[in-house]
Each structure stands twice: as C-alpha cells, then as structure tokens.
C-alpha cells in the first residue's frame, strides 16, 4: 500500500492505478485498500476532461465495487459503505450522461444556427443571381452559392430549414435557366451588332475603292475580317438580309476570277464564335 500512496503523492496516476488494481485483486476484502483505490477511480471519473476517459473510470469503479461486494466481510457499516459508493458512482454516471447530452445539444444548436445563417446567405445569393447581367457575373455568383451549399450540414437540417432549402434550390434552378437564356440572347444581340458593323465596313470600303479590291489579296484582307468573319448560324434574319445585300453587291462588281475567289473565301475564312 505504501507504493500506491507514494505514486499517488507523486501524481503518477497510471502507476498508482496499476498498483492499486494489483493490491485489490490480491486482497479483495481489504476495505482500506478498496476505499483508496475506489476513491482514485471515482476522482478520475469526476474530474477528467474527456467523456470517454470518465466513463471508462466510472466503469472500472463499478467493477471494483462489485468485486468488493463479493469478497468483503459484511456488516452494517460495510453495507452502508457499499451503498454510499454505489450512489456516488450512479451520480457520476448520470452527471456524465447529462453533460454529454448538454454538449450534444449545444453542438446541435450551433449547427442549426449555422445552417440558418448559410440559408440566409443563399437567399442573398439568389438576389445576386437575379442581377447577374453576363456570364462572368453569373459564374461568380454560382461559385459563391456552391461554396455556401458545401458548408451546409444537410443531415442536420430541420424540417423548416429543409423546406426553405428545397424551395430555394428550385427557385435558383429556374432562375439559372432563365438567366442562361437571357445571357445567350444578349450575347447574340451583341454578336449581331458587331456583324452588322463589320458588314457595313466591308460595304463602305469596297464601294469607296472598288478598283483596289480587284486585287485578290486586298479582297481577302477585307472580307476575311468583315464579311466572312461571322457564323451565319448565329445571325438573325435581319442581319442575314443585310449580309446578303453586301455580298451580292460585292459579288456583282467582281469579274469571274474575283467571283470564284470570293466564293472560296466565304468557305475558307475562319469565323468568330463570340
């Protein structure tokens, strides 16, 4: 027992437990040794910070008490002592359970609160989505929404939060489809405006100096950057009408070799896609 006491005074808890367990096992009816060892186990079950360690020492205290009950010489005082230790252990076990539940609830409440904040930010993201006027801004908003969604604890969503989230998801999906159509339309308008400007440039340049563009090199330099620089499949009907007007005018002013060259250029020239 002296070695046990020495380790305990030196705060060598692991060694004290080892020696105490050994002494209790060798002399299970020794009440003094039982009380010292049991008090150590109970103290650790009460004071350690980690729940797993506290539960482990509480369990060891229960086993040690049961072992003492089986081997001790019974008397009124011994029965009272056993009852006191049983009550202490039961109180500790209940305390650990209550503290674990309190911590679990606190963490759960924090997750719920965090989810609420993220859903609010997702609503703000939806508003920014509505204001996105081009593909770059749309992509930036979608990236932000995706990052927020990844932070959301989907498993912990309350029924109310899940309903809000699902509705928000549906609204955003519909809004994205709408925005894609709007942005594509605006891109097409911009593309056609540029095409019309290029066709006009081709028309004005050719009309101003028709003789210059009898030279096929000069002709290619003009039409490759204007008349044949745009994809016909992306042009509006109105734009195509003006294109045909310009093309017909230039085509009609060229000799046979020029007409052949213009036709080849119309096939071979690389088109701008945006």
Q: What is the pLDDT of residues 124-163, one digit of tens each?
A: 999 999 989 888 999 999 999 999 999 999 999 999 999 9
Is the Cα torsion angle 36, 57, 106, 125 positive or negative in sign? positive
Instruction: Say how many Å lie between the first and final Cα of the chain, rounded.
Output: 89
Digit-coded pLDDT (tens) for 66-92? 999 999 989 999 999 999 999 999 999
Residue 110, both tokens: 């924090």
> For residue 206, what pLDDT is reported?
96
Residue % of the chain over a pLDDT of 70? 99
> For residue 2, what pLDDT is reported?
84
Residue 241, both tokens: 């009408």
> For residue 134, what pLDDT is reported?
87
Architecture of domain 2-103: Alpha Horseshoe (1.25)
> For residue 271, what pLDDT is reported?
81
Q: Annotate the chain with DSSP letters as a single string.
A: -HHHHHHHHTT-HHHHHHHHHHHHHH-TT-HHHHHHHHHHHHHHHHH-S-HHHHHHHHHHHHHHHHHHHHHSPP-HHHHHHHHHHHHHHHHHHHHHHHHHHHHHHHHHHHHHHHHHHHHHHHHHHHHHHHH--SHHHHHHHHHHHHHHHHHS-GGG--HHHHHHHHHHHHHHHHHHHHHHHHHHHHHHHHHHHHHHHHHHHHHHHHHH-TTGGGSHHHHHHHHTTTTTSB-GGGS-HHHHHHHHHHHHHHHHHS-HHHHHHHHHHHHHSPPB--
Confirm whether pTM is higher than 0.75.
Answer: no
> For residue 274, what pLDDT is reported?
66
Tokens 């252990």, located at residue: 89
> For residue 4, what pLDDT is reported?
86
Tokens 């340049």, located at residue: 205
Q: Give me the residues of the chain with pLDDT under 50, please.
A: none
> For residue 178, what pLDDT is reported?
93
What residue segments make up the domains of the chain, in order of their start? 2-103, 105-184, 188-268
> For residue 7, what pLDDT is reported?
87
> For residue 36, what pLDDT is reported?
93
Q: Whole-number mean pLDDT of the chain?
A: 93
> For residue 270, what pLDDT is reported?
87
């Amino acid at each position: 027992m002296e070695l046990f006491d020495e380790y305990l005074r030196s705060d060598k808890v692991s060694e004290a437990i080892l020696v105490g367990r050994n002494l209790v096992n060798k002399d299970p009816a020794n009440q003094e040794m039982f009380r010292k060892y049991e008090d150590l186990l109970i103290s650790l079950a009460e004071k350690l910070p980690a729940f797993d360690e506290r539960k482990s020492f509480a369990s060891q205290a229960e086993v040690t008490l049961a072992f003492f009950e089986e081997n001790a010489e019974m008397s009124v005082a011994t029965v009272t002592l056993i009852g006191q230790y049983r009550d202490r252990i039961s109180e500790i076990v209940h305390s650990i359970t209550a503290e674990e539940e309190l911590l679990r609830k606190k963490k759960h409440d924090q997750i719920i609160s965090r989810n609420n904040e993220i859903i609010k930010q997702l609503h703000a993201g939806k508003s920014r989505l509505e204001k996105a006027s081009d593909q770059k801004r749309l992509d930036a908003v979608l990236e932000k929404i995706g990052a927020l969604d990844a932070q959301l604890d989907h498993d912990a969503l309350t029924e109310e939060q899940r309903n809000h989230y699902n509705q928000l998801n549906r609204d955003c999906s519909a809004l994205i489809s709408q925005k894609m159509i709007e942005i594509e339309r605006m891109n097409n308008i911009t593309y056609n405006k540029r095409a019309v400007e290029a066709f006009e440039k081709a028309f004005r340049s050719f009309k101003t100096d028709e003789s210059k563009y009898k030279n096929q090199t000069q002709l290619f330099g003009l039409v490759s950057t204007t008349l044949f620089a745009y994809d016909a499949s992306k042009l509006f009907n109105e734009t195509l009408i003006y294109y045909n007007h310009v093309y017909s005018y230039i085509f009609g002013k060229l000799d046979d070799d020029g007409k052949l060259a213009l036709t080849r250029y119309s096939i071979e020239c690389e088109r701008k896609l945006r």
